[in-house]
Amino acid sequence: MSASTSANSGKYFVPQPSHWPIVGSVALLTLATGAVTSLNEVSWGLPVLYAGFAILIYMLFGWFGVVIKESEGRLYGKNVDASFRWSMSWFIFSEVMFFAAFFGALGYARMHSVPDLGSIDAKLLWPEFAATWPSSGPYLKEVFSPMGAWGIPAINTALLLTSGVTLTIAHHAMLENHRSKLILWLAATIILGITFLTLQVYEYVHAYSELNLKLTTGIFGSTFFMLTGFHGFHVTIGAIMLTVILFRSMRGHFDDKHHFAFEAAAWYWHFVDVVWLGLFVIVYML
């Protein structure tokens, strides 16, 4: 789909009809069908699931490709830039609320459901259960060790914080139109991100093989893996975003005035960073 500024004044941008949204819808329907069926052990489930992913990736490439082309064609004026900024801020806010649900679950479990299960009321049911944290609950009684904060998690904290700094250096380089510096520091940020993810995977392996800490290890395992897992997933997305930005920088995109995509990715990266700090304190330290 080609785009045009339509018949608008320079101020507004209204894109031409596009088939990407419907491709996205087909992708999600396929994905959902594949997920539902494979979760319920239907034999053709998995292929459908993969097909859904494939269509989704095709859509993302296509749609973002169009947007990048429009952006580089300088079809987006100041007004569009402001719209993008509003939308990215609200999107990040929605992500914050998504994490809030899981942090809420963790807080509720620690401060409410586990103490309740160990309370005098529940003694009749679970006489031996001591309400301590971490816990895998009164019935599962899995023996496990929680993940200590001062090993890999502390290193990971340092990595992510450093990546925030390197990203800011890259940002300044971009504002100074200093391209090689931009590329260098952006690449450094991505490498830090990937190192973080690698250590995270290592930590998971360690948890499963040595600590007997699993997703199925009661409420501690559930909250631990869901929170760190969704965070890791978001780091992955952020790293992919930054990689796209890196390639675009290498192709000469972005300058001191025209760089919303860079900032959006950077905001997202900082958001992921802040979530990690929350995780480090609440999940690992406390």
Partner 1 sequence: MASVPHGAPHTTPAHGDHTHDGHDDHHHLPTGLMRYVTTTNHKDIGSMYLWFSFAMFISGGIMALLIRAELFQPGLQILEPERFNQLTTLHGIVMIFGAIMPAFVGFANWMLPLQLGAPDMAFARMNNWSFWLLPPAAILLIGSFFVPGGAAAGGWTLYPPLSIQAGMGMDMMIFAVHIMGASSIMGSINIITTILNLRTPGMTMMRLPMFAWTWLITAFLLIASMPVLAGAVTMLLTDRHFGTTFFNAAGGGDPVMFQHIFWFFGHPEVYIIALPAFGVISQIIPAFSRKPLFGYASMVYATASIAILSFIVWAHHMYTTGLPMAGQIYFMYATMLIAVPTACKIFNWLATMWRGSITLETPMLFCLGFLFLFTLGGFTGLVLALTPVDIQLQDTYYVVAHFHYVMVAGALFSAFAAVYYWSPKWTGWMYEEKLGKIHFWWSLIAFNVTFFPMHFLGLAGMPRRIPDYNMQFTEWNMVASIGAFAFGTAQIFFLVIVFRTIAGKSGIRAPAKPWDGAEGLEWTVPSPAPYHTFETPPAFK
125-164: contacts with partner 1 (CB under 8 A)? 135-140
Residues 100-129 that bind partner 1 (CB under 8 A): 100-102, 104-105, 108-109, 112-114, 116-117
Residue 157 or residue 217: which is nearer to partner 1 going by CB? Answer: 217
For residue 132, what are the contacts with CB-CB under 8 A and spacing of at least 6? 114, 118
Segment contacting partner 1 by CB under 8 A, of 7-15, 149-157, 235-243, 278-286: 7-15
Helices (H), the chain: 20-39, 45-72, 78-108, 114-117, 152-175, 179-206, 218-250, 260-279
Q: How far is CA 259 from CA 65, 240, 253, in A?
A: 16, 17, 8
Residue 9 or residue 252: which is nearer to partner 1 going by CB? Answer: 9
Q: What binding mask, one character per residue, do residues 176-215 give for partner 1 by CB under 8 A, x or -?
A: ---------------------------------------x
Question: Looking at 156, 157, 200, 222, which residue binds partner 1 (CB under 8 A)?
Answer: 222
User: Measured from the CB of residue 203, what is the shortest distance to partner 1 in angstroms?
Assistant: 19
For residue 123, what are the contacts with CB-CB under 8 A and spacing of at least 6? none
Residue 13 or residue 258: which is nearer to partner 1 going by CB? Answer: 13
Q: Tell me the C-alpha distance between 168 and 173, whole Å.
A: 9
User: Sign of dihedral through CA atoms 216, 219, 224, 229?
Assistant: positive
Q: What binding mask, one character per residue, do residues 246-275 give for partner 1 by CB under 8 A, x or -?
A: ------------------------------
